[in-house]
Amino acid sequence: MGIEDAFGQVVRRMRKERHLSQETLAFNSHLDRSFISLLECGRKQPTLITIFQIARALNVSPSEIIKAVEELEG
Amino acid sequence: MGIEDAFGQVVRRMRKERHLSQETLAFNSHLDRSFISLLECGRKQPTLITIFQIARALNVSPSEIIKAVEELEG
DNA sequence: TTGTAGACTAACGTCGACA
DNA sequence: CTGTCGACGTTAGTCTACA
Residue B48 sits in a domain of what CATH number? 1.10.260.40
If one counts the domains in chain A, the total is: 1
Closest CB from B4, B49, B66 relative to A66: B66
**A·B CB contacts under 8 A:** 52
A45 touches chain B (CB under 8 A): yes
Residue environment code for B35-54, b if the CB has 16+ CB neighbours within 10 A, otherwise e: bbbbbbebebbbbbebbbbb
Q: Residue B35 belongs to what domain range?
A: 3-73
Residues B36-52: tens digit of each pLDDT: 999 999 999 999 999 99
pTM as predicted: 0.97
The predicted structure's pLDDT at residue A66: 99
Q: Say how far apart CA A45 and CA B48 lie, in whole Å.
A: 6
pLDDT of B74 reads 86
